[in-house]
Structure 1
Amino acid sequence: MILRRWAVLSILLFVCLTFPFTITNVVVKGLETVPLTSVLERIDYSGDLTEKDVEEIARTIFDMGYFASVKPELIPGKEGYTLLITVKENPKVKDWKITIDGEGLLDVKDLEKLVTIEKGKALNVKRVQESLENIKKAYEEAGYIFIEVTGNMRKDTFEIIVEEYALWDVFINGEAAGIDISQIVKEANLNLLKDFYSASPLVRFFTMNKKKFYPRVSDINRFIQTLRLNAFFSE
């Protein structure tokens, strides 16, 4: 699952001007869930402007994150120009949810507090990115590095998918002759998922916690240190 970015900025001026001009009014068409005030408060059209300034206004609106397209058009008037901005909002988010593919290493209720996606408004790609990064950071701070966080819009619900990866096995490339990797894994107390599934169901149920097979940074560092000590490796 990957997050699709719908946004495509389209800057097309129907009146090509090579000299400064004045904008006396701004009209925004296409708003459905985003308030007009939140758009207008971000732009400044005072004074003499150029075509580049209009493009910058369009880009500023686009960079809000709510829109799939932003198209400015200059309409001449008696005292100046009206800037007509036609926008197309991203799909409306009715709800969002977090789906964890793994053992649930972190409490999903804690992860939900990190989501900044707004319900009832157009999907904001900046808030999506912020939410994904917040969740990824929470895992990293807990020591987990084998984590992938992505998102996708499913009808009117945005789904955040957290994939937690366990460690199945360890392979060493390069000069590994004579090194007993299984012994090093055992010395480093590194849990491999293949050992979990090779054990009997009763042993797994009563003696094994599957979450321990999802390594933290400290587990990987301990394994590397043990490997260096046994194989006389250096930096």
Structure 2
Amino acid sequence: MKKIFSILVFLCLLTNLLWAAEPIVKKIEIRGLKRIDEFSVRQKISQKIAVPLNPEKISDDIKKIFAMGYFDDVRVEMKFFEGGITLIYSLKEKPVITRISFYGNKEFDDDKLREQITLSRGSIADNTLIQDNALHLKAFYQSKGYWLAEVIPVVRKVRGSNAVVSFLIKEGSKVRIDKIDIEGNHAFDDNDITGVMKTSEWWLFSFLTSGGYYNSGVMKQDIRKIKDLYFNNGYLDVRVSDPEIKVDNKKHEMTIKINISEGHQYTVSSVSIEGNKAYKTDELRKLIKLKKGEVFSKKILSGDIKAINDFYSQKGYAMISIDPAVVPLKNSDKVKVIYHIMEGDLFHIGRIEISGNTKTEDKVIRREIRFDEGDLFNSALLK
């Protein structure tokens, strides 16, 4: 919809030349509201009553009111009288959606498509929001293999301030993944990399695994899995590109290319523990699997953090926190690993309250609880 900025406040700059003193705002009126609460609009207005007129504030206020997303038009006018000014905000509300329809959808019924959008009856007919919902529908179709699907939103005003939104859909045919091309990989072969991915090339029995078709959400997870494969084998500088997709419209097939920059493989130069007071370093070191001289692994690091966390939390330290630092050494393919421990205080079990039990008595439930009030906190007993 066409946004119209009709701002007359800057006339006051000329008027000020004729006034002996700056004009004072005596009153602020808001007109044109039908559904939107006046208080919410006034919250956006920084120009105050009983203070001099500030054109910059009014200009900013207009932008803030537009940013609410409820209005097609915001106009500010002034009425001058002896002793001050009345500011009048004239607002034109956007239409309200009374019906949402889908045309051209054959593979998915209306109810399924409604689940993919945020619009509903009663929503404001905001163009940006409607376009976003059309993109949601297109992304949904693409996730199901309909890569060539098109969704066009049409807005039609009816009965004054109401609107009907229609989504015109051209589904097209499914586009299969013909090939996944991995480039730049040397440490791992193509099968190692595609083996951690859920996205796969289409084959005769793809229907058994729901594979063979592109899903952007699944691909994002696959990119993370590829990075983890490298992180768990010492490649901390690895870079994995977003997929490059080429579609053959005639064959209804696509090729996906993923570029990898592996970087160097890092080994562990040293492992240290800091911040521990309740337990000796030698005792905690027994929990750590990451060893000096071995290839660094993000997975082993995460396991070490969990082991230390479990050790402390089972001995009363409910607020234990471990902050690991992996520091690359200059001019070297080595890293030093530091486990920073924030132990926190010892906690004991306070009052045990039981609620929501309508059929079983408290005493029956308490018999199954493995700790009592006053006991030292133990996270293992909560599982």
TM-score range, shorter chain: 0.5 to 0.7
Amino acid at match of 1:166: G
Q: What's the counterpart of residue 253 of structure 2?
A: 223
Aligned partners of 2:100 and 2:121 also within 8 Å: no
Tell me, yes or no, if structure 1 residue 12 matches structure 2 residue 8: yes
Amino acid at match of 2:106: E
Structure 2 unmatched runs, 5+:
17-21, 175-200, 204-211, 216-245, 256-383
Which of 28, 53, 61 is matched with 1:57 structurally?
A: 61
Equivalences for residues 1-235 of structure 1 within 5 A: 5-13=1-9, 15-17=11-13, 23-46=25-48, 50-76=54-80, 80-93=84-97, 95-105=98-108, 107-117=109-119, 119-120=121-122, 123-149=125-151, 150-155=153-158, 156-167=162-173, 217=214, 220=247, 223-225=253-255
Amino acid at match of 2:103: I
The SS at the match of 1:17 is helix
* Matches of 1:120 and 1:74, distance apart in 2: 33
Amino acid at match of 1:164: K
1:150-171 deviation line (CA, Å, top 9, x unaligned): 1222524422314133249xxx
Amino acid at match of 1:56: D
* Matches of 1:224 and 1:124, distance apart in 2: 35
Amino acid at match of 1:139: Y
Question: What displacement does 1:76 show?
Answer: 3.8
Question: What displacement does 1:128 show?
Answer: 2.4
Q: What's the counterpart of residue 230 of structure 1?
A: none
- TM-score relative to the length of structure 2: 0.38
* Matches of 1:120 and 1:29, distance apart in 2: 22
* Matches of 1:75 and 1:56, distance apart in 2: 20
Amino acid at match of 1:62: F
* Matches of 2:123 and 2:115, distance apart in 1: 18
- CA, structure 1 residues 80+154, in 2 after alignment: closer, same or farther (shift >3 Å)? closer
Amino acid at match of 1:84: I
* Matches of 1:139 and 1:21, distance apart in 2: 59
Amino acid at match of 1:31: L
- CA, structure 1 residues 108+84, in 2 after alignment: closer, same or farther (shift >3 Å)? same
* Matches of 2:253 and 2:131, distance apart in 1: 33
The structure that has the greater radius of gyration is 2
Structure 1 unmatched runs, 5+:
169-187, 191-214, 226-235
**Superposition RMSD on alpha carbons, in Å?**
3.9
The SS at the match of 1:10 is strand
- CA, structure 1 residues 159+121, in 2 after alignment: closer, same or farther (shift >3 Å)? closer
1:120-150 deviation line (CA, Å, top 9, x unaligned): 4753334323433332333344343322221
Question: What displacement does 1:86 show?
Answer: 0.7
Aligned partners of 2:32 and 2:92 also within 8 Å: yes
- CA, structure 1 residues 140+88, in 2 after alignment: closer, same or farther (shift >3 Å)? same
* Aligned positions, number: 178
Higher helix share: 1
Aligned partners of 1:21 and 1:50 also within 8 Å: no
* Matches of 1:223 and 1:104, distance apart in 2: 19
Q: Greater relative contact order (Cα 8 A, min sep 6): structure 1 or 2?
A: 1
Aligned partners of 2:10 and 2:55 also within 8 Å: no
Amino acid at match of 1:27: E
Aligned partners of 1:12 and 1:73 also within 8 Å: yes
1:29-72 deviation line (CA, Å, top 9, x unaligned): 11122221222223322476532321221222223222222110
- CA, structure 1 residues 120+78, in 2 after alignment: closer, same or farther (shift >3 Å)? farther
* Matches of 2:76 and 2:170, distance apart in 1: 44
Aligned partners of 2:30 and 2:91 also within 8 Å: yes
- CA, structure 1 residues 112+15, in 2 after alignment: closer, same or farther (shift >3 Å)? same
* Matches of 1:145 and 1:49, distance apart in 2: 55
1:203-229 deviation line (CA, Å, top 9, x unaligned): xxxxxxxxxxxx95489489355xxxx
Single out whichever of 21-30 and 112-121 deviates more from structure 2: 112-121
Aligned partners of 1:103 and 1:164 also within 8 Å: no
* Matches of 2:72 and 2:81, distance apart in 1: 29
The SS at the match of 1:127 is helix
Higher strand share: 2
